[in-house]
Amino acid sequence: MNACLVSGGKWVALLGMFAIAGVLLATAGCRSDGAGSKAAKTNALSKGTSGPTAVVAAGDADFEQVVLHSDAPVLVEFYAPWCGHCQQFAPILDDFARETPGAKIVKVNVDQNPGLSARYKIHSLPTLKVFKGGEPVVERVGAASKRELGTLLR
């Protein structure tokens, strides 16, 4: 599974290696220092605007309006800027948003929106949830291909 873990309500980045029986196993992607792909850092989100070519940023203050009151299906990615898997997934999500005019694609930064993280029981990143009619109907933990994202929206 490609996901960064959350523990006890606090975000815990996997800092690179775990020691198991004296053997070090490398983990990929989750960094606490905020370093990551240039593409992910330059990924611009549209705040409060939607369209077939934009990923919309939503938070505690506007989640209800942007996601729960949407007439279109909404794919929400719960992410954090320090999550390497989230950074690697960002270009895929951007492409998917441009190619999927019938749905709304939304990103929620869990560090800036702890209320939403708690409400939707987000324990790993990225977590994808599909909302239809204001209700979460599908959940996936970890990144996905564009094809898999399309399947989630059906």
Got the DSSP string for 32-45?
TT----HHHHT---
Could you say which of 6, 30, 83, 93 is catalytic?
83
Q: Tell me whether residue 86 is one of the annotated catalytic residues.
A: yes
Q: Tell me whether residue 83 is one of the annotated catalytic residues.
A: yes
Could you say which of 58, 75, 86, 141 is catalytic?
86
Instruction: Report which secondary-structure segment, H or E, holds 128.
Output: strand 127-132
As a whole number of angstroms, the distance between CA 108 and CA 22 comes to 38
Amino acid identity at 35: A
Active site members = 83, 86
